[in-house]
Amino acid sequence: MTHVPDGAAIPSPDEERRAVGASGGGGADGVAAADGGVLPCALLTSRLRLTPVAAADEAELFALHADPRAFAEDSTTPLTDPAQMRWVLAQWRESWARHGIGYVCVRAREGAQSTGARPTGARDELPPGLLGVVGLAPLTTGAGEELLSAYWRLSPAVTGRGVATEAMSALLADPHLGPGNREVVAITAAGNGPSRALAARLRFRSAPSDGPVPGGRPDDVLLVRPGGAPPGRTPAP
């Protein structure tokens, strides 16, 4: 799980995921943004379709962020009121409008829910609906420092299925939505082993222990991914 300091975003349990590159037959199509830039319609991987968070996603996003199972090892707590998610979603959408990067909804790509070559229930078959939300967004610390912060939260239904690594690897590698040569930070609970393992696969490392952790939660740690680092490890299937 990763955190953003203002509490607008809340993280995800993730374990034993297989990293998959972003070249799985697609890239990011785009539509015009309010500032004259281009926002992607979708970023495709071999199994996933990543789309910028939208108003229509509110109900599914609230269901995810209200599920205690998605916070099993987190230092933050689930949402309890749809109005909380509505406010959070507004901040996420504003990030897209202002910066051209932000959080994306993760869903199975058409055809990835069942290969047809394996029986129903096979491990590579992903469920329909929202699988999670991941993203990169600008963050200003209390000291005025500008950072780029990573976030992920996944549905318990896809824990251990490689979804978080596949989605985050796609974002980190994308020339338009990724960090390029910028450093990226992630904030997570010190005792959240699955999230820290995912971060390690994505090339994050522990920041110096004498530095402040944005957000001020005593049980959180700051992880740093150097600028220009490769997207992540790709272990054998």
pLDDT digit string (tens) for the chain, length 237 residues: 454 433 334 433 333 222 222 223 344 444 334 344 445 578 999 999 999 999 999 999 999 999 999 988 877 889 999 999 999 999 999 999 999 999 999 999 987 764 444 444 445 689 999 999 999 999 877 677 788 999 999 999 998 899 999 999 999 999 989 998 999 999 888 888 889 999 999 999 988 776 677 666 767 889 999 988 876 654 333
Phi/psi at 59 (5° precision): -65, -45
Tally the C-alpha atoms within 13 A of residue 104's C-alpha that lie toward its C-beta: 29
164 close to 17: Cβ distance less than 8 angstroms: yes
Give the neighbor-by-neighbor strand order of the sheet with 38-44.
Answer: 28-32, 38-44, 48-52, 103-108, 130-140, 146-154, 184-189, 220-225, 205-206
State residue 49's pLDDT score.
Answer: 96
pLDDT at 170: 95
Sign of the torsion angle spanned by Cα atoms 45, 234, 203, 181: negative
- The tally of CA atoms less than 13 A away on the side-chain side of residue 35 is 11
For the whole model, what pTM was predicted?
0.77
Distance CA 180, CA 176 (A): 8
Residue 124 confidence (pLDDT): 66
Cβ atoms of 153 and 11 closer than 8 Å? yes
- d(Cα 197, Cα 194) in Å, to the nearest integer? 5
Neighbour tally for 105: CB within 10 Å: 24
Q: Looking at the domain 28-225, which fold is it?
A: Aminopeptidase (3.40.630)
Phi then psi dihedrals of residue 177, to 5 deg: -100, -15
What does the pLDDT read at residue 27?
Answer: 46
Structural domain boundaries in the chain: 28-225
Beta-bridge partners for 51: 105
Alpha-carbon distance of 236 to 163, in angstroms, equals 15
Residue 74 pLDDT: 79
